[in-house]
Amino acid sequence: MGKLGKKARKFAKKNLPSVLKQRRKNKIVFKKRPSKKDKQDVAEKVVKTAEVSNGRDTESEVTMTTSLDALFAENDSFMVSDDSDSDGYLSEDPSSENITRNDNDVALEDDRDKHTLSIQNQKIYEELTEQKKSLDKLKKKDPKFVKFLESYNKNKISKTQDMYSDEDEIDEDLTGLDDDDSATTKHKLLTCSLINSWSKSVKEDHSESALTSLVNAYRAACHLGHEETEFIIQDNETFCSIYTFMLSEADNIFRGLLKIPSANRKKDSILELKNTPRWKKVKPMVKSYLRSTLFLLKQVTDLDILAFSITRLRSSIIFFAAFPSLLNRVIQIIVPLWATGGGTLSSSSFLVIQDVISVFGSNYFDTCFIKTYNAYIARCRSMETVDAKHIEFLRDSFVNLCSLDVEKSCNKALVSIQQLAYILRHAKQKENKEAIKKIYSWQYAQCIDIWVLFISTNANESDIQPLLQMIIELINGISNLFPGSRYIPLRTRCIQWLNKLSNSCGIFIPVASLILDMLEYKVSKEGSKSRKSVKLASNLKLPKFWLKSQNFLEQCVYTAVELLSAHFLQWSFHISFPELATIPLIRLKKFYERTTVESLRRVVKRLMDQVEQNVEFVQKKRDDVAFSPKDHESVDLFLQFEKALNTPFTQYYKSVVEKAASKMSTSHVEPKRVNVKRKKTANGGESNTAVSLKEADANVDSKGKKRRVVVQVEG
C-alpha cells in the first residue's frame, strides 16, 4: 500500500480517531448490556467491569460509571396501564350491572378466545364445503331442481327488501325521538342540594344508585376543565361538597358494602372477594373512585388539597390489590410529590410509599427504592435553592424506607458505594477535573450521607460490616484528596460522618489528626475581618477571599473544638482515654502558644483543661482496678456506671453544642443590626464608637458573638 496523499492524511487525522473511539464505545456498551434473564442491576455490572478494566478507559466509560442520576435505571416496562385515564361514567340504571368495559379488556378476551374461535371456524368451513359439493352434484343430475332454486331465491329477496324498508322508516322516527331526548338530557346540572340528598340516601338508606351517581359526579369534578362531561357543576360549593364527601366517606362506604373492617389492611381480604357477586357489583365504583383521585393528584396544585387527598387515598390502599396497574401509577405520582413538596404533603406522601411496601410485600420495594433514590439525588443537585430541613427529612425518610428491607438495601448500597469509590479512584489516577468536581458536589456528598445514616441506623445487622469498611475507606480517601484550606467544609463533613459511624458502631476511628490539621492553616498578618458573609452550611468549597480574612481562622478553630469535643465525648469513659488524648493535647498546646488572638486562646485553653481533667479522672479509676488489659469483658464494663452520670466533660460538650447552634441561628441576623449601629455612630463621633465597642466586648463574655459584631464595627 502506497503512501497517503495530503488530503487523505488530513481526512484520516480528522475523522479516524473519532471512528475508532465510536467503535470502542459501541463495543463496550454491547458487552455490558445484560440479558433479560439476568436479575442483577445494570449499574452493578458496570461498576464491576470498571474495576477489572485493563486501562482502556474511555470518556464514554467514565460517563457511564460516574453518572449518579443513572445508577439505578427506572424500568417502567411493567408499568403498563390497563386502560386510559378513565373508564367512563357508570350506568345509573339499577337493573343494569355497573361493569365498565374498554378496548383493552375486549382485546384481552379476543386474545384469550382466539384459538377456540379459529378451531370452530375451521369446522364450519369444512361442513360448508361438503354441502356445496353435494349441492353441485345434485344440480348436475336434476335440471328442474336448478330452476326451482332460482325462482325461490327471487321471491325471498323481494320479501326481505320490503321488510327492511319498513324498518328503516321506523328507525328514522325513533332516531328523531332519541335526538330530542339527548338534547334535553345531554348535560345534567349538579347542585349542592342534589349532592346532599344523594349523600343522605347513601348514608341512611344505603342506596347503590345514589352512590353510583356520586361516583359519576366525583369523576366529573376531578376531570373538570380537562374533558367534556355530561354533568355541569353549579358552583364552587357544589364542587367542595362532592370532593369532601367522596374523599371522607368513600372508603368507609366501600368497606361497608364489602364487609371489610376499617382496621383491616391486608391485601388478601380483597383478593379473596374477587370472584364474589359483592365484589363484581362494587368493583366498577371502587375503580372509578381510585382513578378519579389519581387524576386529581396530577392536576391539583394546592398543597392542602393534595395532602388531604393523599391521606384519604392511603386509607384505601388495600383496594389497589385488585388493580396492579393503578398501584404502579400511585408510585409514579406520589414519589415526585414526596420529593418536591414540603411539610404535611411530603409526610403524607411518604406514608403512602411506606404502606405500599408493607401491604404489598417486597415485590414493590425495588420500584419504590429506585424512584425515591433518583428523586432524592435530583433534588440535591443544588442546595442553595432547597430548604436544608426538607433535604434532611427526605434523607431520614429514605433511610427509613431502606430499613424496611435491610438485605435488599445492603445490595443497593454496595452498588452505590462501589460507584462512589470508582469516581474517587478515577479522580486520583487520571486527575480528571470533571471527576474531582463531582466529588465535592452536593449529589456526591448526599449519597455518602444517606449510606452513613443507613449504616448507623442498622449497625446491629451482621451484613452491615462490609459496607462499614468500604464507607470508611471512601471517606478517608475524600479527606486526603482535598487537603487544601478551601475544602474545610467538605473535610468537616467527612469528620462528622466518621464520628457518627464510630459512635453508632462502637469502633474506634482515628479522626483527631484530621481535625487538628485545621489548626495548621495560617492567615497573613494583614488579614482582617471580611465584610462579606458566607453560608458555610450551603457550601462545600470556600471562596478565595474568605481565606485571607480573620474569619477563616476563627471558623477553623471553632469547628476543630466542636469536632474534637464530640470525638473525646465518645471515648471519655473508655479505659484507654489517657493514651488517646496524649497527642491531641500536645498539638493543642503548640497552637495555644503560637496564636496571638485572645478569644481563640480562651476557647482552646478551656478544651485542654476539660480533657486533662477527664484524663486524671480515668487514670485514677484505672489505677484502682484489679483486672489485666487482656480481660476484654472487664475492660468493656469499665466506668459503665459513671456513664449515666452528668460528668464535667459531658456538661462541657453540651455547652459547645449550644454555642454552635446559637451562632448558626444568629449568623444571618447580626450583621444587619450592627450595620445600622455603625451608620448612626459614624455621625455621632468617636465617643459613640467607643461605646459600641465596649458593648461588643461585653457581648463576647455573655453570648460569644464578638466575631460577628467586630466584623461590622471595625470594618
pLDDT tens-digit series, residues 365-397: 999 999 999 999 988 887 766 778 889 999 999
Q: Alpha-carbon dihedral of residues 655, 659, 661, 663, nearest 10 degrees?
A: 180
Query: Residues 233, 239: contact at Cβ < 8 Å?
Result: yes
pLDDT at 139 over 80: no
Lowest mean pLDDT among 166-180, 203-217, 430-444: 166-180
161 or 480, which is more confident? 480
Q: Are strands 188-190 and 231-233 parallel, antiparallel or unpaired?
A: parallel
Q: What is d(CA 449, CA 690) in angstroms, rounded to the nearest whole number? A: 47
Lookup: cell for 301: 396544585
- Would you tell me how many other CB atoms lie within 10 Å of the CB of residue 615? 19
Helix (H, G, I), strand (E, B) or coil at 41: coil
Q: Could you tell me which of 21, 15, 16 has the C-alpha nearest to residue 56?
A: 21
Pairwise CA distance, residues 235 & 204, whole Å: 26
Instruction: Please tell me which residue, 183 or 487, carries the higher pLDDT value.
Output: 487
- How far apart are alpha carbons 397 and 370 in whole angstroms? 14
Confidence of residue 472 (pLDDT cuts 50, 70, 90): very high
**What is the predicted pLDDT for the residue at 93?**
59
Band the pLDDT of 661: cuts 50, 70, 90: confident
Measure the CA–CA gap between 378 and 72, rounded to whole angstroms: 13
Close Cβ partners of 466 (under 8 Å, ≥ 6 residues apart) = 414
Degrees, nearest 5: CA angle 119-121-124: 115
Place of cell 415526585: 336
More confidently predicted of 356 and 9: 356
Per-residue confidence band for 430, with pLDDT thresholds at 50, 70 and 90:
low
**pLDDT at 144 > cutoff 80:** no
Contact predicate 557/620, CB 8 Å: no
Distance CA 583, CA 611 (A): 12
Predicted confidence at residue 247, as pLDDT, reads 93
**So what's the pLDDT on residue 343?**
86
Model confidence at 467: pLDDT above 60: yes
Q: How confident is residue 351, by pLDDT bands cut at 50, 70 and 90?
A: very high
Q: Residue 24 and residue 53: Cα distance in Å, rounded?
A: 13
Residue 45 has pLDDT above 50, yes or no: no
Q: How confident is the model at residue 122 (pLDDT cuts 50, 70, 90)?
A: low
From CA 689, how far away is CA 155, in angstroms rounded?
Answer: 123
pLDDT score of 75: 58
**C-alpha torsion 293→297→303→307, nearest 10:** 50
SS3 state of residue 221: helix
The helix or strand, by DSSP H or E, that contains position 154, with its residue range, turns out to be helix 143-185
- Kindly report, residue by residue over 178-202, the tens digit of the pLDDT: 444 443 345 688 899 999 999 999 9
> What is the distance between the alpha carbons of residues 5 and 8, in angstroms, rounded to a whole number?
5
In the predicted model, is pLDDT for residue 63 greater than 60?
A: no
**Phi, psi for residue 627 in degrees, rounded to 5:** -95, 165
pLDDT of residue 155: 60
pLDDT digits (tens, 9 = 90+) for 520-555: 877 655 455 555 555 555 677 787 777 777 778 888
- Average pLDDT value for residue range 138-149: 73
Question: pLDDT, tens digit, for every residue of 556-569?
Answer: 889 899 999 999 98
Per-residue pLDDT tens over the stretch 602-618: 999 999 999 999 888 88
The label of the residue with cell 441561628 reads 665
Q: Where are the alpha helices (DSSP H) in 75-142?
A: 103-141
397 closest CA partner among 336, 335, 457, 350: 350
* 277's grid cell: 357477586
Amino acid letter, 613: Q
**Phi-psi map region of 371: left, alpha, beta (phi>0 left; psi -120 to 50 alpha):** alpha
Which pLDDT does position 64 carry in this prediction?
A: 40
- Terminal CA-to-CA distance of the chain, rounded, Å? 77
Asked if the model's pLDDT at residue 235 lies above 60, the reply is yes
> How many Cβ atoms from other residues are within 10 Å of residue 332's Cβ?
15
Asked if the model's pLDDT at residue 41 lies above 60, the reply is no
pLDDT tens profile 151-179: 766 665 555 455 444 444 434 443 343 44
For residues 675 and 660, the answer to whether their CB atoms sit within 8 Å is no
Q: Of 538, 357, 371, 510, nearest to 446 (Cα)?
A: 538
CB distance 82 to 291 below 8 Å: no
Alpha helices (H) in 186-276, listed in sequence order: 192-200, 208-222, 236-258, 268-271
Burial string for 336-362 (b: 16+ CB within 10 Å, else e) reads: ebbbebeeebbbbbbbbbbbbbebbee
Give 301's DSSP letter: -
Distance CA 562, CA 495 (A): 11
CA–CA separation, 361 and 574 (whole Å): 44
At residue 152, the pLDDT reads: 65
Residue with the bigger pLDDT between 683 and 473: it is: 473
Residue of higher predicted confidence among 639 and 652: 652
Distance, in Å, from the CA atom of 556 to the CA atom of 521, rounded to the nearest integer, reads 8
DSSP H or E run through 47: helix 42-51
Q: Is 313 helix (H, G, I), strand (E, B) or coil?
A: helix
Question: DSSP label at 77?
Answer: T
Residue 622: φ, ψ to 5°: -70, -30
Question: What rounded mean pLDDT belongs to the chain?
Answer: 74
Tell me which H or E stretch contains 233. strand 231-233
Number of C-beta neighbours around residue 543 at 10 A: 11
